Amino acid sequence: MPEYAFFKGEFVPIEKAKVSIMAHAFNYGTGCFEGIRAYWNEEEEQLFLFRMREHYERFHRSCRILHIELPYSVEQLGEITAELLRKEEARTDTYIRPLAYKATEGIGVRLHDLEDAFALFAVPFGKYIEKEEGARVCVSSWHRISDNAVPARAKITGAYINSALSKTEAILNGFDEAIVLNENSHVSEGSAENLFIVREGKLITPPVTENILEGITRATIMQFAREQFGLETVERPIDRTELYVAEEAFFCGTGVQVAAITSIDHRPVGTGKIGPITKRLRDFYFDIVRGKVEAYRYWCTPVY
Ligand code: PMP
């Protein structure tokens, strides 16, 4: 359990950070959030927040879509986050959860004319899926939310019912994760992570117009794959059956990090083991996030 939260403009003990059952966001899912990781670097005895700026920029964009007025700039949010981690004396890998939401207590579905609130907490965090080196996944029977109904580009709390439905179906059916198709029957992403496949040695990922969350890990991988390994990513729609014939496939996201997919709908991906490109990108990613790659140190914000 965390000790503190940032709530109603100040740091408070976590047990004081409580929201009413009448809160608008609790009733209607009218909030948005971020998920940021901080990585502990043992040699330097330092905690690094990974791409915090980009997370808070996306947070601001989500708020804009939801008519939420955030009283803090990207820089101020970064300062509050580092301060919270120092108060927690966090010296381990940590997950940070900022939330912006409609706090008004009362009935009536809308986005305008409501009180906005911001809250933040952080918890120690390891793996998100158990089998990071070989997940067995299925194509979900649930479709991804679509931009003109519930925009996937905003990280909206209520929208995560879509992720939860597909995740639970996958787990109850004996899989580790789900891949979700959009209303055009194209691949969008995993239940809470973006997806890449490899075909003929090339990285392919759905474009931002396929009802994906515009993932920061996705952008990270596209950049360092190009700069470090000369691997370009093709952003184009992906058909369901391309999943079955791909040489490699992997999920990526703040939570899942980089996780190899080794079977899809009971068909082995490639050799059925983590592929060479996935392995290389995965290893490099773990070095980057701990601040071990000089060229990408600018993505890592020290807490201490
Ligand atoms: N898609 C969804 C639906 C997610 O919830 C997440 C996790 N935030 C991602 C993709 C990955 O995004 P990011 O790399 O920015 O964490």
The predicted-structure confidence for 76-99, as pLDDT tens digits, reads as follows 999 999 999 999 999 999 999 999
206: left (phi over 0), alpha (psi -120 to 50) or beta: beta
Give the position, in ligand 1's atom list, of the atom nearest the Cα of 220: 14
296 domain residue, yes or no: no
Look at ligand 1, atom 1, and give the residue with the nearest C-alpha: 193
86 domain residue, yes or no: yes
From the list 56, 39, 57, the residue with the least C-alpha distance to 48 is 39
Same domain, 143 and 234: yes
pLDDT value of position 79: 98
302 domain residue, yes or no: no
Domain boundary among 103, 124, 145: 124
Query: What residue ranges of the chain have pLDDT lower than 50?
Result: none
Report the residue among 217, 224, 299 best suited for mutation to probe ligand 1: largest number of ligand atoms under 8 A from its CB. Answer: 217
- Between CA 161 and CA 142 the distance in angstroms is 11
Q: Is the CB of 66 under 6 A from ligand 1?
A: no
pLDDT digit string (tens) for 114-131? 999 999 999 999 777 767
23 domain residue, yes or no: yes
Domain boundary among 99, 124, 149: 124
Q: Is the CB of 253 under 6 A from ligand 1?
A: yes
Q: Is the CB of 206 under 6 A from ligand 1?
A: no
14 domain residue, yes or no: yes
Annotation says 167 is catalytic = no
- Between CA 178 and CA 110 the distance in angstroms is 32
Same domain, 120 and 151: no
Q: Is the CB of 221 under 6 A from ligand 1?
A: no
- Between CA 170 and CA 179 the distance in angstroms is 9
From the list 62, 234, 90, the residue with the least C-alpha distance to 150 is 62
Catalytic residue among 155, 202, 279, 292: 155
At 275 the three-state DSSP class reads: coil
303 domain residue, yes or no: no
pLDDT value of position 126: 77
| Three-state helix/strand/coil letters over 2-64 | CCEEEECCEEEEHHHCCCCCCEHHHHHCCEEECCEEEEEECCCCEEEEECHHHHHHHHHHHHH
179 near 264, Cβ under 8 Å?
yes
Domain boundary among 80, 103, 124: 124
Domain at 10, CATH number: 3.30.470.10
Count of structural domains within the chain: 2
From the list 238, 220, 237, the residue with the least C-alpha distance to 54 is 220
Same domain, 157 and 119: no
Q: Which domain holds residue 182?
A: 135-289
- Between CA 117 and CA 107 the distance in angstroms is 17
- Can you read off the two tokens belonging to residue 280? 């290389």
Look at ligand 1, atom 11, and give the residue with the nearest C-alpha: 253
At 160 the three-state DSSP class reads: helix
Helix 52-65 vs helix 216-229: crossing angle, to nearest 10: 140
150 domain residue, yes or no: yes
297 domain residue, yes or no: no
pLDDT value of position 89: 97
Same domain, 109 and 75: yes
Same domain, 154 and 113: no
Domain at 261, CATH number: 3.20.10.10
Same domain, 179 and 91: no
How much is the pTM? 0.97
Helix 216-229 vs helix 276-289: crossing angle, to nearest 10: 110
CA angle 209, 214, 219 (to 5 degrees): 115
Same domain, 139 and 267: yes
pLDDT value of position 130: 66
Q: Which residues pair with 168 in a beta bridge?
A: none
